[in-house]
Amino acid sequence: MAKLSFDSTQFTLRTSQFGRQKIDYQAAMDIPYVADPVDSIQKLNIFVPAGYFAGATINGYQRDTAPILMPNTVGGYMPGPRDDPENTQWPTNAKTIIAALAHGYVVISAGLRGRTQTDAQGQFIGKAPAFIVDMKAAVRYVKANADRIPGDVDCIVTNGTSAGGATSALMGASGNAAYFEPALAALGAAQASDDIFAVSAYCPIHNLEHADMAYEWEFNGLNDWYRQKMAMSDGKMTFTPWQGTLTVEQQQLSTTLKADFITYLNGLHLTAENGQPLTLDDQGNGSFKDLMRDYLMAAGQRAVDAGVDVHKYAGFTVSDGQVADLDVTAYLTSLTRMKAVPAFDDLALSSPETSLFGDETTPAKHFTAFAQAHTQVSAALAPAELIAAVNPVTYLSETQSTRSIAPHWRIRHGAADRDTAFAIPMILATLLKNRGLDVDFALPWDTPHSGDYDLDQLFAWIDRLCQ
Ligand code: DHB
């Protein structure tokens, strides 16, 4: 444990450019956050506005009252290395870190293992649940060192985008969950809790075992798909167009998955803010779909109010500056489908998610009985407890809970995001609301799969909670 005591003499003064402003901050770099790491990625960087070391008040915060923002760099469930305001190599949220420092936050960036990592023997070391175990271990380290690290450990806010948004959401939902204790103990994690105060999640790619069905509920009937193939070259992502049309067999699978989603959704017993049940009929229509239309119409209305022409997408009826109606099918048709069927639990085990659910010696596994039944390759099904444990929704569906769920949530999923269905963040937000938690959820207009695009609003939200 002594090994995990933070040595605050290691802070050194650095300066980064924030627009035309220079931001001075103290940085403590490359700090191991577990006693028995399995990989060098398991280290974190701490950044503190320099003024706090001279007793300054910044934006109403002081050294020990400043919120602690913990952004991750996880994308595609790949390794998410610790980040740095001067980092220019993908993946990085350097701009977020600098903006947060300028705003008076303490920023702690922990490196998290990802699905492609192997050790010297060639064994995989970053398959699920490694990403969340590492994030929990990092939070435990920060809490165990509360007296030595500036910032308020009662105001830890995690942030991430896509798979990183899922990581953030899972942190909020699974605070102190028993499932992860053995893995945390094996790493020699610090003795502390890992529940957090607030979640910021952009387009969280989560609820993976229900994401295929949700995708077909949304896109069934749209048979052409369009996406970009991503590749890494010299620290930069490159994108090449990739498209296709669903086969007849895929179209049939789509129809089955759509029906499965209706059963799943109705089984969640969600309710709207007015207390009415959120359900779907046999055709996939009903109050839950109406809620989706409401969220999209609200996105359109904000665009209209900002002087933006919403007819970039089909389906909107606008009169006298009011979005009066939305034909959801027309909207989705103009948005287009991105992924083939199944969208996540790919039948050839070639998706990032099947890779996430591999194990030490298995590159990829299925994580739905549906894909296992229809697989095109020799494949195993990942353990049910593991699949459930890395899904934030699991914890929110439990009626009794002895764990700690974050009380505050800000979830953003672009109205032009096709990486997962709108239903997925909607279910998350609704379950949280139905538990009486504080949820700020919206679909920002014409926003594709991305994050950190509204930092002023994110920081205003954090300030309302922490100042
Ligand atoms: C991410 C995007 C995806 O479409 C997906 O299936 C998994 C992860 C991402 O950007 O992290």
pLDDT digits (tens, 9 = 90+) for 294-337: 999 999 999 999 999 999 999 999 999 999 999 999 999 999 99
Which among 74, 162, 167 is the best mutation to test ligand 1's pocket, defined by most ligand atoms within 8 Å of the CB?
A: 162
Backbone angles phi, psi at 115, to 5 degrees: -65, -20
Identify the CA nearest to 212 among candidates 77, 372, 414: 372
Cβ–Cβ contacts within 10 Å for residue 77, how many?
Answer: 29
Q: Whose CA is nearest to atom 4 of ligand 1?
A: 419
Given a cut of 50, whether residue 43 has pLDDT beyond it is yes
| Atom of ligand 1 lying closest to residue 162 CA | 11
Q: Whose CA is nearest to atom 7 of ligand 1?
A: 76
Cis peptide bond prior to 342, omega within 30° of 0: yes
pLDDT digits (tens, 9 = 90+) for 438-455: 999 999 999 999 999 999
Classify the complex by whether its ipTM is higher than 0.95, answering yes or no: yes
pLDDT digits (tens, 9 = 90+) for 133-153: 999 999 999 999 999 999 999
Given a cut of 80, whether residue 1 has pLDDT beyond it is no
Q: Is 170 left (phi over 0), alpha (psi -120 to 50) or beta?
A: alpha
Which stretch of DSSP H or E encloses residue 411?
A: strand 408-412
pLDDT digits (tens, 9 = 90+) for 159-212: 999 999 999 999 999 999 999 999 999 999 999 999 999 999 999 999 999 999
How large is the average pLDDT for residues 79-83? 98
Q: How far is the CA of 57 from the centre of ligand 1 (A)?
A: 39
Contact assessment for residue 364 and residue 130, using Cβ atoms and an 8 Å cutoff: no
pLDDT of residue 402: 58
Q: How far is the CA of 79 from the centre of ligand 1 (A)?
A: 13
Q: Whose CA is nearest to atom 1 of ligand 1?
A: 76
User: How far is it, in rounded angstroms, from Cα 370 to Cα 379?
Assistant: 12
User: How far is it, in rounded angstroms, from Cα 203 to Cα 415?
Assistant: 10
Contact assessment for residue 181 and residue 192, using Cβ atoms and an 8 Å cutoff: no
Q: What is the pTM of this model?
A: 0.98
pLDDT of residue 428: 98
Residues 344, 69, 147, CA angle at the centre, nearest 5°?
130
Contact assessment for residue 366 and residue 375, using Cβ atoms and an 8 Å cutoff: yes
State percent of the chain over pLDDT 90. 96
| Atom of ligand 1 lying closest to residue 165 CA | 11
Name every protein residue with a CB atom under 6 angstroms from any ligand 1 atom.
75-76, 162-163, 205, 352-353, 419
Q: How far is the CA of 155 from the centre of ligand 1 (A)?
A: 28
pLDDT of residue 401: 64
Q: Whose CA is nearest to atom 2 of ligand 1?
A: 76
pLDDT digits (tens, 9 = 90+) for 212-267: 999 999 999 999 999 999 888 887 888 999 999 999 999 999 999 999 999 999 99
Tokens of 421: 């269905």
Which among 167, 413, 419, 424 is the best mutation to test ligand 1's pocket, defined by most ligand atoms within 8 Å of the CB?
A: 419
pLDDT of residue 400: 63
Tokens of 258: 């759509």
Q: Lowest-confidence range among 111-125, 169-183, 395-409? A: 395-409
User: How far is it, in rounded angstroms, from Cα 70 to Cα 360?
Assistant: 28
pLDDT of residue 234: 80
Q: How far is the CA of 162 from the centre of ligand 1 (A)?
A: 6
Q: How many CA atoms lie within 13 A of 97 on its CB side?
A: 29
